[in-house]
């Protein structure tokens, strides 16, 4: 395939060849999206990889059959040469999302960008303006919109099944092992290292769902409460050490034991063993030694450097007077996402992991006070309810000029949820209700005012 022109807006990708993409940040999420190329080579082809870690570059090269001249250490190195693809799959860490995406847009790449969009509202709007200026497509990886559970709920609301939406309640319950791995020991354990608050890293999915269920109705006010309650040193059980497999006499009884989670149950392997030369293929002896010594995932959950919340509640008011609330709780026994939407004519209630939801309507004449319809859906076992690959499919179809689905996560349709999240974090820290300013005013201004809103 000949090199692309960097100066011209490329035409829509024809259906006669696969969409070509480069991986930017060869971590777990971007590699998952890129794996679509292995099962649908007629639709997606990986042509290059960008990652500062040579181990990650080599793994991606081996998986997708890339030559050494298609391996790059930085986005700057990539865009300095000829355009190698139609699009980029950007799975860098949160604080690098905008800084790496803008050069890609100017170099002519459309982008599938891992959430959150950026680490501040100012960054999000900067990216939006760059997308408009370059005419490039940016899709945000809000994969829950593509989960059959949420997509069908959105269709029922669109069809008027429950009338106008009056109130929405959602919950995300983060399991104890996920909480310990990602938000206590791992990449997003503290704001400086991870770049995003726990609410934005974990729940921008859920806040996006809330705003998406309201369609084009704008959120206007937000309040929020929460704290780091459990995973701190003063809450450590008596006798707890500093590393599970090195100096902890209560490790064998602890639910948060690194040995139990990562060696016996083999949970979260792509994250925990990423620093080992052979990754998950390393011998158990090597893994145990790493947990005993320098692997951050071997630390006691009560004696780590985490500073993000482990629980937070958000309350939202929309411009039409309707309301919503979202509750984030980390450390639950069972992970799940729940939703309850009340409309003027009925209600919808369900749990994503159960693969079904119920629609209820008042029953004036029947023996019961309400009628109930059970809507059962085929749901994948993955944590995003089967949405990951559907997102990639929609991105490819959009680049080919086809009509995007109702779930479309284009940048302009994905900003309200981020505004809610950023405002909620400010409301929590400043102990006040935060007004969400109208998006059109912000974009017209070209930047946020010096107040930092």
Task: At 341, list the tokens.
Answer: 């939407």
- Is the pLDDT at 444 greater than 60, yes or no? no
Give dist(CA 150, CA 130) in Å, integer: 30
- Which residues, 6+ apart, have CB-to-CB distance to 238 below 8 Å? none
Q: How much of the chain is helix, strand and coil, in % rounded to 5? A: 40, 20, 40
User: Across-strand partners of 316?
Assistant: 222, 324
Residue whose C-alpha is closest to residue 393's, from 145, 134, 170: 145
In the block, residue with structure tokens 């991986």: 23
pLDDT reported for residue 447: 45
Beta strands 19-24; 87-90: pairing state: parallel
Task: At 266, list the tokens.
Answer: 């083999």
Query: Where exactly are the structural domains of the chain?
Result: 19-141, 145-231+307-384+411-445, 233-298
Q: How confident is the model at residue 382 (pLDDT cuts 50, 70, 90)?
A: low
Give dist(CA 38, CA 24) in Å, integer: 17
In the block, residue with structure tokens 């749901």: 379
**Domains 19-141 and 145-231+307-384+411-445 are alike in CATH topology:** no
Task: Tell me the mean pLDDT in the region 191-213.
Answer: 92
Q: Do 257 and 291 contact (CB within 8 A), yes or no?
A: no
Give dist(CA 300, CA 247) in Å, integer: 10
- Which residues, 6+ apart, have CB-to-CB distance to 250 below 8 Å? 237, 239, 240, 241
- Is the pLDDT at 126 greater than 50, yes or no? yes
pLDDT reported for residue 9: 44
Q: How confident is the model at residue 135 (pLDDT cuts 50, 70, 90)?
A: very high
Task: At 165, list the tokens.
Answer: 């939406």
Residue 438: count other Cβ atoms within 10 Å of its Cβ.
12
In the block, residue with structure tokens 């991105």: 395
145-231+307-384+411-445: what fold? Dihydrodipicolinate Reductase; domain 2 (3.30.360)
Torsion from C-alpha of 244, 248, 253, 254, nearest 10 degrees: -50
Task: Tell me the mean pLDDT in the region 60-73.
Answer: 97
pLDDT reported for residue 446: 47
User: Across-strand partners of 226?
Assistant: 312
Give dist(CA 326, CA 314) in Å, integer: 5
When mean pLDDT is compared across 51-60, 128-137, 437-446, the lowest value belongs to: 437-446
At 442 the three-state DSSP class reads helix
Q: How confident is the model at residue 7 (pLDDT cuts 50, 70, 90)?
A: very low
Q: How confident is the model at residue 2 (pLDDT cuts 50, 70, 90)?
A: very low
pTM: 0.88
Beta strands 434-435; 370-376: pairing state: unpaired
Q: Do 114 and 141 contact (CB within 8 A), yes or no?
A: yes
When mean pLDDT is compared across 96-100, 103-107, 317-321, 409-413, the lowest value belongs to: 409-413
Query: Who wins on pLDDT, 168 or 7?
Result: 168
Q: How confident is the model at residue 67 (pLDDT cuts 50, 70, 90)?
A: very high
pLDDT reported for residue 14: 87
Task: Tell me the mean pLDDT in the region 193-208.
Answer: 91
When mean pLDDT is compared across 126-130, 231-235, 340-344, 383-387, the lowest value belongs to: 383-387
The helix (H) or strand (E) run that includes residue 38 is helix 36-39
Rounded to 5°, the CA angle 318-391-59 comes to 130
Which CATH number applies to 19-141: 3.40.50.720, 1.20.1300.10, 3.90.70.10, 3.40.50.300?
3.40.50.720
The torsion region of residue 215 among left (phi > 0), alpha (psi -120 to 50) and beta comes to left
pLDDT reported for residue 8: 40
Give dist(CA 65, CA 81) in Å, integer: 20
Mean pLDDT value across the chain: 91
Q: Do 153 and 348 contact (CB within 8 A), yes or no?
A: yes
- Cα of 197 vs its chain's centroid, Å: 12
């Amino acid at each position: 395939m000949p090199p692309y022109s960097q100066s011209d807006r490329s035409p829509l990708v024809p259906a006669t060849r696969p969409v070509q993409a480069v991986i930017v940040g060869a971590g777990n999420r971007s590699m998952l999206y890129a794996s679509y190329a292995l099962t649908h080579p007629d639709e997606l082809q990986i042509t290059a990889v960008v990652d500062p870690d040579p181990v990650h570059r080599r793994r991606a090269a081996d998986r997708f059959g890339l030559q050494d001249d298609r391996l790059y250490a930085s986005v700057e190195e990539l865009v300095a040469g000829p355009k190698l693809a139609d699009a980029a799959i950007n799975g860098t860490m949160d604080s690098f999302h905008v800084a790496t995406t803008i050069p890609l847009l100017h170099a002519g790449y459309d982008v599938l960008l891992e959430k959150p969009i950026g680490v501040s509202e100012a960054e999000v709007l900067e990216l939006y303006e760059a997308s408009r200026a370059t005419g490039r497509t940016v899709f945000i990886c809000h994969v829950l919109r593509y989960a059959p559970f949420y997509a069908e709920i959105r269709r029922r609301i669109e069809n008027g099944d429950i009338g106008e939406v009056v109130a929405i309640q959602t919950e995300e319950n983060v399991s104890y092992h996920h909480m310990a791995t990602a938000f206590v020991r791992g990449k997003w354990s503290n704001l400086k290292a991870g770049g995003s608050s726990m609410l934005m890293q974990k729940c921008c999915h859920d806040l996006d769902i809330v705003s998406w269920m309201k369609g084009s109705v704008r959120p206007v006010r937000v309040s929020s409460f929460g704290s780091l309650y459990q995973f701190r040193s003063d809450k450590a059980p008596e006798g707890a050490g500093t590393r599970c497999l090195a100096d902890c006499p209560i490790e064998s009884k602890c639910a948060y034991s690194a040995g139990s989670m990562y060696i016996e149950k083999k949970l979260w392997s792509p994250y925990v063993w990423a620093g080992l030369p052979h990754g998950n293929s390393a011998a158990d002896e090597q893994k145990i030694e790493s947990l005993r010594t320098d692997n951050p995932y071997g630390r006691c959950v009560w004696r780590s450097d985490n500073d993000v919340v482990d629980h937070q509640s958000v309350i939202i008011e929309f411009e039409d007077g309707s309301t919503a609330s979202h509750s984030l709780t980390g450390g639950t026994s069972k992970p799940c996402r729940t939703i309850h939407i009340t409309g003027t004519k009925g209600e919808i209630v369900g749990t994503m992991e159960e693969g079904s939801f119920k629609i209820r309507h008042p029953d004036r004449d029947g023996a019961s006070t309400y009628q109930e319809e059970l809507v059962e859906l085929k749901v994948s076992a993955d944590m995003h309810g089967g949405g990951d690959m559907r997102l990639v499919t929609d991105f490819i179809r959009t680049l080919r000029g086809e009509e995007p689905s109702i779930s479309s996560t284009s940048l302009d349709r994905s900003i309200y949820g981020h505004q809610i999240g950023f405002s909620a974090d400010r409301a929590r820290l400043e102990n006040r209700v935060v007004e969400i300013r109208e998006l059109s005013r912000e974009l017209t201004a070209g930047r946020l005012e010096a107040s930092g809103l």
